[in-house]
Structure 1
């Protein structure tokens, strides 16, 4: 140190970290880094001041002096690297945002590298969520270079750890805002981060923010995505502390991995194959409130355009990555009904809606499978390819929400369908299910599938035969060749070859793993394992090494002499030498039903169980044909191993009993499952019948309502017609009354002078009484002499023209009758105008004087008075008659009953 400068090396590190002189701080950072690197472990006292007061690092990583800041960031990296998880969790709340604000935008490459390394260490030591949460506020900073640096830091984190370790959802939600920033550097870094996320997520990132970008930005990103598609799948470069511990544990125990066989390897492959999709990234959306209120009514409309519009509106509502679970029973019921629609456009849109709903709900859609699967399979009879594709995609989505066991019953039922199109499409659906299922089918399901596929091999259609072979080949890929041998025994070589071809090319996601069950019969670990029936073996490695020194000394003082040979369990040649350890090891292997017995306890039971040894003669060691070894001196030593045989026999019997019990229980469960399936099938059929009946009742009700409305319309029209007719009749009646009044006035005017009669010597009776009437139907009018008030007799020599204008007119007048009005008004029958001046009567007696209107009986004095002025009376009568005739003619012409004189 130069002269005149004070030495601050004796100050504690916390004091030097907060010193006002940047050189002191810089030296303190360097000293702390060296001490961290020399520390033996995480519990070293050097870490204590910084874990107790982690705010010291806030000033270190954001030091105002760039040189000191560089050393401060390096010291913090050493603190995290050697201080462990506690160092990270205590300090990250104080350091992450300052690193984003001051460290990442640094102009010094070393400082920027240290800042990125510090962020990566924070993620590596614990977890990424708190770090990302602290970094997101930097994306809203007022300084553009801080935002760009924060985006670069996020890209480095995702590049190192991937999207499985670091949740991408918070960053994807913030991307639209930074894409709209005014600074081009910010937009460029946002583009780079989006491309990095696309490397891991592919198309799953688009539903979350793609619609909020400008078309130009979308086009630029699409060009960059095309380059990424050509690259291999990304792999995680850095691992978290938990992953490192797991890998260290796996490498430290290789024997366990060997025992597990290939099962663990396949599990690892499955984990690697898992991809993050849009469903995992998206937030659930509540779509039930957005479904139109009149959706059910509009979908029940008789017009196909209304039904299609309702389904289009539903499609728009359901078109989201993830749907919040809710009550969709009415929607599913109407969609199932739409599968029977006569219009294929309606069926296509309904299938697309089912596809979106199944993808959005995933496992939540499983409860609707029984209502929708059968109608969709039935609709596969449609030959148009667009409809078949839409239905196939919807069926795949429905299957993805359930499993093969739940869908298998309906699939096998439709494989027997009489429609060949339905059978072929169902067969394709079954093949897709076998390829995509992740669950190994149960043995009964395998049997059902194999039997159905074997029947298809004998179909007349080549497509069905090839489909059956593909089903068997795909199933063999899942279950293995050995498990499928019983189902291929009766097939010829050509079909077997075809099935083998499909087996070799099939790609499946589920594979049966019987290897862990087959592995236990290895001879080496026999002393440390226990095998009972089909149960998994229990591995006990440490006790297995202890029994040999314990067993040998215990077996030596046995009261019975050592045996030369021990008969094997299967009746093979006896094992020579080492007789006593073998029974001990055998008993230890098969001793306990519930678990593996301790090695020290294994040898005590033989001495206690020796008395009940009368059973050994069963194996031929005492008498009968086995008396052959009696001549030898060692014959008495033969009963020594006898207790092992009954123990083996007894234990085998127990195992057999347990196996039989397990088999019976399995059969009982299988029967129970079959009963439940049959009940479920019956209930499903009843539900479908009730739904059909309900739909039929709704249609009948709609038809009845329409019929009633039509009848009501007809009734309204009939009422309006009746009212119009009634008004017409009233109008005609008023016209008749008016004409009657006019005629009465005319008669009164003509009856002013007293009527006279003609001389009696003419021999003519007085004119008959009559009246003028009108027929409403023909509008004809009649005239009687009595209505004119003429009391004089008519002379037979009177000119014809006085009575009527012309013979044709008389003829016309004679042809007009009015039965209705005459009967109603005057009580007379039908009348006709006579050729002479007057009327003729039908249905009446001969007229008399008393019938003349307005006159009493005619006396002789009256007749004498009348005869005094015959000429005047005659003239007056003629004038009145002519006036009446003219008026009648006018009325007829007005009513259109007569022709003009020019046309006669």
Structure 2
């Protein structure tokens, strides 16, 4: 918008030409810009943040910063536009003009500082990425510092996890300067808030990638981040990334770590808003508070277990592990335990069911081979270290076998067992293991006693919870018994136990337990006391806080309990209750009748200096009786010493049960105004605030009640310990029963397997018997056939021509002569038997005997050519007549000598066959048995 007309401009140019003066630019554009800026001031703040002119945006950033600084609280309307549209800060943090960006990041810091947590949570997703790209990597020092402050404020207002999550993507940027600046930002976060407030796991995971970057500045910032983390975590950080580095990088880092190793653990410099609020609510720090804070910091020290991710190792245990562990070969058992150790040796184990594994390791403690015992102890150590607290439920199963195995004298075995039982103690407590430890201190084996004694000393040094008085008494008694042992190591161990307990409990508390010991032993215990280093300290309970001295309250205007029976109080309340109630005036009871009879005066309450006690009081009798007048003589009052400043005076304990039920059940009575208003004589001595004999008796009764309650508590505690031991014993019995049941089931399965195998063997034997039986029959038939072949030819009586007999033998009337009738009569049945045996043999061997017989009967011509069974020595039914003639003629030609030799050979074959049959029968009888 131009305010100078065009004609005036032309006129000015003309005058300049006439006067030969240089042209002067008109001030109109400057005035236009000024007016435009003034007009922009009237725009809403969001519009000014998005204006196209950088000066307008810069002015808006500056105005917003001033506006935020004067707001009364985070709910001021000035924050509302930026909460409704958080993207405004994205343009401010990444402004294209570097001058405007500087003011924009400063305005963001003011918004976060005064806007509260809501402004943080709504804007961080829009601003952290631009701050990484154009803020922390800026060349302007002011912009860079404001960007760092904005990111630290994002952490302070809420938590660090979302901020770290937004920063990590910037580590993958292509520009090395942005990656280096992001690493520097992470270093600043850990330096300001510490690893106890900010989770270091994400930073440790990205370190290997940062160390492998090509840019040296990135690697340098990665080194700075690693050194800063080492200040907080020490050696616990190495398992997360150390193996992913090159050897040269590890060497360089070790050199950097050595420079800061001697430095103490750093402390948190900046605190979250939630931590600041808690600190404001907490009481002012004192000496005790400082000690407690140091203890808390020591307890929550970060270690590798907290940084590691849980790993599921239960599923990695081989299926045959327990079979290998039960093997009869020690090498198989050792190899199984070595494989288990490789699986369990991780930083953190995911919680699962390891009961069976623990029982197997406990059983390995009883192994005869010390190599197996040592490897099992190593497995127990890594399992307890990886599980931590969840391993406590397996302690009862494993601690006893470990201490029982301490009888081994070899140093390597003793070291492995000691490391295993120490790790078991770290995941439990001294109270849980004390009973078992004291039992093993009475063991008959001196080596077991010594190992248990050393373990108890180490436990007392490392425990963070001081033992109770009952536990101290038990440990002291066991240690004093060790002082009288014959072995010097056991005597020194008993003195060391007592000296360590004295370091925890203090010399005064241990005085009663050392009574009766000679000076030599006390001197030895004193030496161990001075040299002992413990982590637990017994802190006696401070006395109850006392109320400040009270002024005398005005007398009550109304008599309480005139028609009501006072309530009976069973026991006096604790001192804290009286300190809280703070009765306003002395409250007499109906017990004053007994006091009047005894002639003793009873002070009704605390006596305030400067006030005199009333001489006479009117009390309401019990059950609405008439008021009683009680007179009490004056007593000299001892002026109490005024308490020191800021030290409260302990309140007087309330008196217990009396005739009417004690202070809690006493009705209020209106004191006599005449007596209370009477001035004190200047010569009368002050009252004595001491208690009367009745009050002392009542106090003694309360003390007796207290002792009785303490005894009851001790009895209940002992009963609880006994019941716990019974429960544990039942658990052990149950585990043993389960193990026996498992063993019985396995035995039954093995017997069933043997039975199945026996049945299969029986069936196989029966099949073999059948085969042998068939073989025997076949041999019999072969024997019969052999006898028939080798015997002289049979002579048949002539029959009818062209007919066959019952055996199917063809008759031929011209075959035999008259001189052979007797021979034919003697061998008439042999051809029939030969045919039957041959037919059975052929049926068994070929299954086609019937076919052969049919062919022989129907085709006699084939039989004559030599293909019949008679040609093969069987002499079947189809054998033709010429075959007999040939046989007979051969027999007649060879003579009687060859016949006798044939009979001998047949007899030998028969004997051999009979012997073989007897052997088969004997074998069959053995198989059946």
TM range (shorter): 0.5 to 0.7
| Cα contact 2:615–2:633 (8 A) shared by 1 | no
User: Unaligned stretches of 5+ in structure 1?
Assistant: 567-573, 580-584, 595-600, 611-632, 757-769, 772-875, 898-904
1:512 is aligned to 538
With over 3 angstroms needed to count, the CA separation of the structure-2 counterparts of 1:227 and 1:587, relative to structure 1, is: closer
Matching residue of 1:324: 350
CA distance in structure 1 between the partners assigned to 2:435 and 2:390 by the alignment: 20
The residue number in structure 2 matching 1:460 is 486
1:707-727: CA deviations, max 9, x gaps? Answer: 879989998998899899879
Of 498, 519, 524, which aligns to 2:524?
Answer: 498
Q: Give the superposition deviation at 1:374.
A: 1.5
What is aligned with 1:292? Answer: 318
Q: Matches of 1:713 and 1:479 in 2, distance apart?
A: 75
- Residue 445 and residue 604 in structure 1: after superposition, are their counterparts in 2 closer, same or farther (change >3 A)? same
Q: Could you tell me which residue of structure 1 aligns to residue 923 of structure 2?
A: none
CA positional deviation for 1:223: 4.9
Give the SS at the match of 2:692: helix
The alignment yields a C-alpha RMSD, in angstroms, of 5.2
Q: What's the counterpart of residue 898 of structure 2?
A: 883
What CA distance in whole angstroms lies between the structure 2 residues aligned with 1:587 and 1:237?
40
Change (3 A) 1:230 1:263: closer
CA distance in 2, matches of 1:650, 1:549: 19
- Counterparts of residues 521-532 of structure 1 (less than 5 Å): none
| Cα distance in 2 for residues equivalent to 1:90 and 1:877 | 133
TM-score after normalising by structure 1: 0.68
Structure 2 partner of 1:655: 702
Give the superposition deviation at 1:268: 3.0
Q: Which residue of 2 aligns with 1:172?
A: 204
Residue pairs, 1:120-135, within 5 angstroms: 120-135=152-167
**643 and 390 in structure 1: CA distance in 2 versus 1, 3 angstrom threshold:** closer
TM-score normalized with structure 2 length: 0.66
Q: Which of residues 433, 450, 462 is equivalent to 2:476? A: 450
Pairwise mapping of residues 90-239 of structure 1 onto structure 2 (< 5 A)?
90-176=122-208, 178=210, 185-210=217-242, 218=250, 221-239=253-271
Q: How does 1:356-755 map to 2 (within 5 A)?
A: 356-517=382-543, 559=616, 565-566=635-636, 575=638, 589-591=652-654, 645=692, 648-649=695-696, 652=699, 655-656=702-703, 658-680=705-727, 682-684=729-731, 686-687=733-734, 690=737, 693=740, 697=744, 736-737=783-784, 739-745=786-792
Change (3 A) 1:608 1:427: farther
- Judge conservation of contact 1:318–1:357 (CA < 8 Å) in 2: yes
Give the count of matched residue pairs.
731
Q: Which ranges in structure 2 are unaligned for 5 or more consecutive residues?
A: 1-26, 552-570, 587-604, 618-630, 643-647, 658-663, 674-679, 797-814, 821-825, 828-890, 913-929
Is the counterpart of residue 240 in structure 1 residue 272 in structure 2? yes
Instruction: Give deviations 1:829-858, integer Å, cap 9, x for gaps.
Output: xxxxxxxxxxxxxxxxxxxxxxxxxxxxxx
Give deviations 1:550-601, integer Å, cap 9, x for gaps.
Answer: 96797577658997644xxxxxxx736999xxxxx9996324889xxxxxx9
Deviation at 1:277, TM superposition (A): 1.8
Relative to structure 1, the CA distance from residue 556 to residue 693 in structure 2 (aligned partners, 3 Å threshold; closer, same or farther) is closer
How far 1:165 moved relative to its partner? 0.8
State the Cα deviation string for residues 676-714 of structure 1 (Å, max 9, x = none): 144235425534654675577578669868987998999
Query: What is the CA distance between 1:75 and its match in structure 2?
Result: 3.0
**Cα distance in structure 2, aligned partners of 1:705 and 1:170:** 58
Listed one character per residue, the Cα deviations across residues 243-266 of structure 1 (whole Å, up to 9, x for unaligned) are 44555666x746xx4xxx647524
Tell me, what secondary structure is at the counterpart of 1:589? coil
Corresponding position: 1:354 with 2:380? yes
Change (3 A) 1:550 1:477: closer
How far apart, in 2, do the equivalents of 1:546 and 1:448 lie?
A: 49
Change (3 A) 1:191 1:14: same
Give the 3 Å change call, closer, same or farther, for CA 62–671 of structure 1 in structure 2: same
Asked whether the equivalents of residues 345 and 382 of structure 2 are also in contact (C-alpha less than 8 Å), the reply is yes
Kept after mapping to 1: 8 A contact 2:374/2:417 = yes
Cα deviation 1:484-510 (Å, max 9, x = unaligned): 112111222222222222222222222
8 Å CA contact 2:407–2:445 kept in 1: the answer is: yes
CA–CA distance in structure 2, aligned partners of residues 410 and 609 of structure 1: 68
The answer (yes or no) to whether the contact 1:606–1:643 under 8 Å persists in 2 is no
- Are 2:639 and 2:686, in contact at CA under 8 Å, matched by a contact in 1? no
What is the alpha-carbon distance in structure 2 between the residues aligned to residue 605 and residue 650 of structure 1? 24
What is the CA-CA distance between 1:133 and the residue it aligns to?
Answer: 2.8
Deviation at residue 275 of structure 1 after TM alignment: 0.9
User: Quick one: distance in 1 between partners of 2:329 and 2:296?
Assistant: 50
CA contact (8 A) 2:324 2:336 kept: yes
Looking at structure 2, the residues matched to 681 and 483 of structure 1 have their Cα atoms a distance apart, in angstroms, of 33
Alpha-carbon distance change, 180 to 464 in structure 1, aligned in 2, over 3 angstroms: same
C-alpha separation in 1, matches of 2:516 and 2:311: 54
Q: 1:818: which partner in 2?
A: none
Distance 1:501 1:727, change over 3 A: farther
**Does the 8 Å contact 2:195/2:232 carry over to 1?**
yes
CA contact (8 A) 1:562 1:637 kept: no
Contact 2:606 2:652 in 1 (8 A): no
Alignment of 1:300-311 (within 5 A): 300-311=326-337
With over 3 angstroms needed to count, the CA separation of the structure-2 counterparts of 1:325 and 1:140, relative to structure 1, is same
Q: Residue 364 of structure 2 aligns with which residue?
A: 338
Whole-Å separation in 2 of the counterparts to 1:533 and 1:101: 72
Contact 1:73/1:114 (CA < 8 Å) preserved in 2?
A: yes
Shifted more, 545-554 versus 171-180: the winner is 545-554
**Residues 35 and 46 in structure 1, CA contact (< 8 A), matched pair in contact too:** yes
Alignment partners' CA distance in 1, 2:902 and 2:284 = 135
**Contact map agreement 1:370 1:684 (CA 8 A) in 2:** no
Instruction: Tell which deviates more after alignment, 91-100 or 293-302.
Output: 293-302
Aligned partner of residue 34 in structure 2, secondary structure: coil
Post-superposition Cα deviations, 1:722-778, rounded to whole Å, max 9, x if no partner, equal: 8998799778757744552343048989x999989xxxxxxxxxxxxx99xxxxxxx
Report if aligned partners of 1:263, 1:515 keep a CA contact under 8 Å in 2.
no
Does the CA contact (< 8 Å) of 1:103 and 1:111 recur in 2? Answer: yes
Q: CA deviation at 1:103?
A: 0.8
Greater Cα shift, 360-369 or 169-178: 169-178
Instruction: Indicate the larger mover: 340-349 or 64-73.
Output: 340-349
What secondary structure does 1:514 align onto?
coil
C-alpha contact 2:791 2:902 (8 A) present in aligned 1: no
Alignment partner, residue 794 of structure 1: none
CA distance in 2, matches of 1:703, 1:154: 64
3-state SS of paired residue (1:516): coil
- Report what 1:838 is aligned to: none
Of 552-561 and 669-678, deviating more is: 552-561
Among residues 45, 59, 62, which one is paired with 1:27 in the alignment? 59
CA contact (8 A) 2:545 2:650 kept: no
How far is the alpha carbon of 1:153 from its aligned partner?
Answer: 0.8
| C-alpha separation in 2, matches of 1:886 and 1:578 | 149
